A and B are shown apart, each in its own frame.
Chain A
């Protein structure tokens, strides 16, 4: 049987970056096809090419056995390919029918909207999913009155209204809870029964094994493996995702982490992006936060720091319960937060290096008055411990390179002697030399007893530095790695795992 879609050897480069070197994917009729790969492996680019939003450089794309070149999303849509946007694109004030046909309004005589036809079409669509639609789900109902589940259904109906043969769901379940995922899978199975094919991108391995017929794995811009789901298992899939990299490459710490009482203990903490997170951090420990990007790691650090305060749960520092609702409170309890997004979160643009360092010290020590002469030696010592290259404390922060600027923002906290350091992807966009200095410093601080929570988007950084790694998935801890499980195989496996 000819596949509905057959992409072979597709390449795409953006400037100097090769996003896709060999995108190969074959999807059969009525098949649920899972597409897997780490961040930046080329999944999204391949999907965009298939959906006509990005043009390919070379390679062949065949629909029902015939070559096609899709020049726009409209063209892809006309050929029966639809891309499902998870980011809610509904207009709450409009009705279900209006939302579904927004941009594709039916016009009758004289170019006026044919609202009768619109209604009839919508009702036909709703009838197909009557079993999951729930009460109050009518063509005329304003979207603002619908439940979140029903809104999700409207999004799907929006896609189905164009009678697609192939639907691409790019992380469609990322924001859904378990029950909503079930609902989504019910719909997916109905579509499958009707012969509609789907490409399903998900970061939850369990979902992939539950729903998919076949799995294609991508790595570094190329398709590296394709499996029939029933004939493979998680380990094989994960191994093909990480490739032949050395599975264990860490430098053991010379000073072991303390075995004493935890310095920081978090119990059942939740905020907008994380739920029910508990952890304990010992003096001198480097605790890593791993997982795919945006699974709540930053939100946890910002929660601890009071920038995105926890709405539930409790924090204990040195055994005493504390309340942290704003950064000032966190700072006075000895926490420090270093963001990877320097320009947005840290830099006092146009101000001197001295001022850039001073702000945290003033708050931590409640200094009403600021005497630069007394503070400068401390700040200079903090900057020197990081090998920072700068031209005096009065030089503007903008005169430094990115790596040296980041060193200043770390020095900002070193000057406060904070016993707990929260590092939020701190090496983003800094050069290798600065990175090496930074890693050396983190180890040195930990050896001296500073407790560190370290989130990095690069797994290698986590594995080489951390004593323990908590892996995040959808805002919750899905696994804890330490000792023998502290390697890239287990880290990748856990990152794609279901919430424990």
Chain B
């Protein structure tokens, strides 16, 4: 009985079941929903969410109420910077990645310094940074969409590369492997869990907690910036609020994936499944022709429901 309960409340099981359930519902509502090419399309969207959620995962696992609400603005920034660097030519792809990644990494580090050195609560720091970045973007671009994706980048995101799958899915799989390696095979990864679990104990085993926490926000910024490059590859051009829609889902994907918002637990595989489940949910809601507000309402509800559910299992676990 207890065993069954543990299996049912295992985030990986829960996420997988939700994915299958949502696929079934989608197919019922609109035949062809679960067709192969549709699923690939959904996976590409999931990959975009999954990339930004990877950074979010690191920040959350690191603990001390870690959360990065600036990822939306940083995706937008990454997309706009990349669009301008490429201006539709393939030769601009590498500069686009470097500029978008570099700038967002630095902004992420600033988030981290605010949290560690100035002790600003992560929620406030990253929300404040969102405002600064969004304002800066509007000033820079004067609110007009600018820059275009290079054809190769669009192909990488949208057209089959190998085995009928677009390149971006391989990139995502690679990111998944990288996250596993970072978290399970490096000192940095072990340190992230340790400081998320008990910061004082982590300090007393000699781990450079402040440095690591600063880096985590840097990584989150970097991953958001790279996500921005992929986003412009997906849509073709960029506008200043293109990343906003990813903020709440990036947090929900992390929670569905079984990472406690209190820090110190969970893994990225769960978050990948969470990103897929959430993208499916979004797709089902679109099929139902639900307006934007309706989707927000359901997303928020899902987040709160999960918090309720996992909050209980956490108590049981002690």
Contacts and interface: CB of A to CB of B under 8 A. Distances in A.
Contact of B204 (A337, A367, A370): A337
B197 A346 contact: no
Contacts of A305: 204
Q: Which of A346, A350, A362 has the most chain B CB atoms inside 10 A of its CB?
A: A350
A345 B200 contact: yes
Interface in B68-94: none
B201 interface: yes
A370 B205 contact: no
B154 interface: no
B191 interface: yes
Interface stretch (B48-56, B182-190, B238-246, B293-301): B182-190
Given A362-B187, A369-B185, A351 B204 contact: no
Given A327-B203, A359-B207, A350 B191 contact: no
A412 B264 contact: no
Interface in A351-378: 351, 355, 358-360, 362-364, 367-371
A104 interface: no
A345 B201 contact: yes
A146 interface: no
A344 interface: yes
Interface in B169-187: 184-187
Contacts of B201: 344-348, 359
Contacts of A347: 198, 201
Interface string B261-295: 00011000000000000000000000000000000
Interface in A289-340: 305, 307, 326-328, 330-332, 337, 339
A398 interface: yes
B264 A331 contact: no
Interface in A64-89: none
Contact of A349 (B204, B205, B207, B264): B264
A127 B258 CA distance: 68
Contact of B193 (A327, A330, A351): A351
Given A349-B264, A371-B185, A355 B190 contact: yes
Contacts of A362: 187, 190-191
A349 B187 contact: no
Contacts of A370: 184-187, 189-190
B40 interface: no
A422 B64 CA distance: 28
Contact of B200 (A344, A350, A359): A344
A292 B138 CA distance: 65
A412 B205 contact: yes
Interface in A260-307: 305, 307
B208 interface: yes
A16 to B, nearest CB: 25
Contact of B186 (A339, A351, A369, A412): A369
A363 B186 CA distance: 12
B264 A348 contact: yes
B197 A363 contact: no
Contacts of B189: 370
Nearest to A331: B206
Given A362-B187, A370-B186, A370-B187, A346 B204 contact: yes
B194 interface: yes
B193 A355 contact: yes
Contacts of B265: 350-351
Interface string A413-448: 000000000000000000000000000000000000
A420 to B, nearest CB: 14
B317 A350 contact: yes
A94 B200 CA distance: 36
Q: Which of A344, A346, A348, A367 has the most chain B CB atoms inside 10 A of its CB?
A: A348
A337 B205 CA distance: 9
A326 to B, nearest CB: 7
A425 to B, nearest CB: 15
A459 B185 CA distance: 44
Nearest to A346: B201
Given A345-B201, A348-B264, A370-B184, 5 more contacts: A307-B203, A331-B206, A332-B206, A351-B193, A368-B186
Interface of A: 305, 307, 326-328, 330-332, 337, 339, 344-351, 355, 358-360, 362-364, 367-371, 398, 412
30 contacts: A305-B204, A330-B206, A331-B205, A331-B206, A337-B204, A345-B200, A347-B201, A348-B202, A348-B264, A349-B198, A350-B197, A350-B264, A350-B317, A351-B264, A355-B193, A355-B194, A359-B191, A359-B201, A359-B202, A359-B205, A359-B207, A360-B205, A362-B187, A362-B190, A363-B187, A363-B205, A363-B207, A364-B206, A369-B185, A369-B187
